[in-house]
Structure 1
Amino acid sequence: MTLIQRNFKHDPTRFNVLSSGGGTQSIAIICLIHAKKLPKPDCIVMIDTEREASNALNYQRQYMMPMCHEIGLDYYIVEKSLISPIDLIYPKNGTVLPGYHSEFNGRNKSGHCKGKQPGYCSVKWKSDVFQKFLNMQYGERYLTKRGVNIWLGMSFDEPKRIKTILGKWQRKYPLFEMMITRETAIKLVEDYGLPTPPRSACWMCPNRSDAEWLWMKDNVPEDFKKACEHEKELQQDFPHLWLTRYGVPLDKAPFLSQDNMTNLTQFCDTGMCFS
């Protein structure tokens, strides 16, 4: 296995849970647990927004869940709608949750959308649902009394995403503490004999780069088709919102093939996209 430079500080007195986003870093953490390079947490929870990339979800079910079962580690994949009814819009004020591209304030000289909506989907579709599920599964009083450490997959090359939160619910970053970068995480998974881990994100995520949309179109056409249909449905109520900055139907967007695949690296491979 890839050389590990530093150990992870583990507190077994607290309830430890890996918040899996279904992507590269989460997969690497599970491999480290399976290899006994990381202690076994109390459980793993992945919140399925019900718009998860199908290849990432299939990878979890085919490889990760059997590995966890082998070592007696509970891995829950929880559909969002089973815990929370909140979907595309806040019921109170009609605010759209994902950070769609907006032409509400017009377009720039290139004809692209000038604006972008703030994104609330990570909180409402993931982190809120994650905490509600744990409270339902283990009991809010028990978790509050014991204290919860949430393991997140931010790697050593993502220092800006590291947030220290103290109190009953704390965040821990195994890969960051062990000085493991995203590239190292990929090699670690491959060295473990598994296929190259997929990138994790909702198939309708407006934070995708051009290269990521092109990759989906060529490699997971069923997801790309769902994204096109989603955009059409969205525009029935919000005609100024789009999935890309181009402000044209997704299947007609002039994607730049030389664009790099960086956007989602920063956001969606952990259990909480915008944490």
Structure 2
Amino acid sequence: MLALSAEGLLPKVDYAIFADTGWEPAAVYRHLDRLEEEVAKPAGIPVLRVRAGNIRADALNPDHRFASMPLYILNQDGKQGMTRRQCTGEYKIKPIKKKVRELLGYPHPQRVPKNVFVEQWVGISTDEFHRAKDADVKYMRNRHPLIEMGWSRSDCVRHLTSLGLADTPKSSCLGCPFHGNAQWRHIRDTSPEEWRDVVEFDAAIRKGNARANATGNRLLGQAFLHRSRVPLDRAPIDHVTTAERAALRGDAAEAEEMEHGVLDGCSPWACRGEAGKPKRDDFGLAS
């Protein structure tokens, strides 16, 4: 949408906002820098980067109230579950809303007048039209230009390719539990430093929330980044296990997700994380 606006194929936007969790792959930051220099600046479109902290550092800081990631849980009784997902709301949606209110001239806790609002473009394509929804606050009104244009994901890829942007990386936390095996392999095989980072983080969260542990709460289960609930450096990211194959027999959609991850898993306005219902309701895994 930024490129289409910069080219004049869509109206010129006032701002483009990127919500940074602080733990994106290096390739995403490099691509964002390139977009800003080659696409946004020549068109006079400011790119605003907003943050609510560093999700990796916050997760391991016992003094910080951490908004939980959707981690895979193996409870002491052998039952499996997931922690509730709060990270998208805390690290993406909230900082975007905060910046929007500032741009409108009514930062929190000021009340935004009834007829003051922004038109916010959300990049949902026709493949995901059912995820297009209205904003949940009156000072933001959602619009979905790609759907209005009838563009699918393939149309977007073709247009980016024509602009020399075919290598656009997927924006998501480096250690997002919604990664599929292909994404984990890509990190391992192309970026050893980032692979060490996620393996270390996976080991660090095994005993749950650092803040809960610091208070001496009782551990109820173990947390993992990979859906197999095996330490990431030993997880079966190169193949599907016999148990997984049996569970997936006849379910092509789940097999696709296991390999390629949850599509748009952390898109601020179309997060598909709600697909997994958590069995536990806290990150600490402790009473």
- Of the three residues 217, 235, 245, the one matched with 1:253 is 235
Deviation at 1:56, TM superposition (A): 1.3
Mapped pair 1:81 → 2:63: no
How far apart are the structure 2 equivalents of 1:246 and 1:213? Answer: 13
Q: Using CA pairs below 8 Å that are at least 6 residues apart, which structure has the higher relative contact order?
A: 1
Q: Provide the aligned C-alpha RMSD in A.
A: 3.1
Who is 2:168 aligned against? 197
2:158 corresponds to 1:214: no
**Alpha-carbon spacing, 1:129–1:170, altered in 2? closer, same or farther (3 Å):** same
The structure-2 alpha-carbon separation of the partners of 1:67 and 1:187, relative to structure 1 and needing over 3 Å to count, comes to same
- Return the match for 2:135 from 165, 169, 194: 165
Q: For the residues of structure 1 that align with 2:135 and 2:99, how far apart are their CA atoms?
A: 20
Q: Which runs of 5+ in 2 are unaligned?
A: 210-220, 241-254, 273-287
CA deviations on 1:123-165 (whole Å, 9 max, x unpaired) are 0111011111232354226965531122111111002311123
1:102 aligns with 2:73: yes
What amino acid is aligned across from residue 133 of structure 2 in structure 1? K
Deviation at 1:62, TM superposition (A): 1.8
1:20-60 CA-to-partner distances (Å, cap 9, x unmatched) read: xxxxxxxxx11111211111111011011001122112101
How many pairs are equivalent? 239
Larger displacement relative to structure 2 (256-265 or 55-64)? 256-265
Match of 1:55 in 2: 27
Unaligned runs of 5+ in 1: 1-28, 109-113
- Which amino acid in the other structure matches residue 122 of structure 1? T
String of CA shifts for 1:176-235, please: whole Å, max 9, x gaps: 221111121111100112242111110111011111111121123322221111112212
Q: Please, which of 88, 95, 98 is the counterpart of residue 129 of structure 1?
A: 95
Q: Normalising by structure 2, what TM-score?
A: 0.73
Instruction: Specify the SS of the correspondent of 1:80.
Output: coil
Aligned to 1:149: 119
Give 2:14's aligned amino acid.
D
Please state if 1:228 is matched with 2:199: yes
- The SS at the match of 1:81 is coil
- Please give the alpha-carbon distance, in whole angstroms, between the structure 2 residues aligned to 1:244 and 1:183: 29
User: Distance in 1 between the 2:228 and 2:191 partners?
Assistant: 22
What TM-score comes out, normalization by structure 1 length?
Answer: 0.76
Secondary structure of 1:102's counterpart equals strand
Q: Is the 8 A contact 1:154 1:175 kept in 2?
A: yes
